[in-house]
């Protein structure tokens, strides 16, 4: 039996994609949450910028 190794980023990308779909589903179901995906995207981009600065 052969074990397939996942690339390090593949599971994270899949998780991120599913999380994004879930956020947009919630936003479509509840108008009060309509801004949540945009807020989460802003926070996500901010954290990536802080953790991985492009210039020092």
Residue 33's pLDDT is 63
Q: How far apart are CA 54 and CA 41, in angstroms?
A: 19
Are the CB atoms for 37 and 27 separated by under 8 Å?
A: yes
Residue 1's pLDDT is 46
Decide: pTM greater than 0.85.
Answer: no
Q: What is the pLDDT of residues 1-51, one digit of tens each?
A: 445 444 555 677 787 888 888 877 766 667 666 677 888 899 889 888 888
**Domain layout of the chain by residue ranges:** 8-51
Are the CB atoms for 36 and 27 separated by under 8 Å?
A: yes
């Amino acid at each position: 039996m052969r074990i397939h190794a996942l690339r390090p980023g593949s599971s994270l990308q899949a998780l991120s994609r599913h999380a994004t779909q879930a956020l947009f589903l919630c936003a479509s179901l509840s108008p009060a949450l309509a801004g949540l995906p945009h807020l989460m995207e802003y926070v996500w981009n901010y954290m990536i910028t802080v953790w991985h600065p492009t210039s020092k």
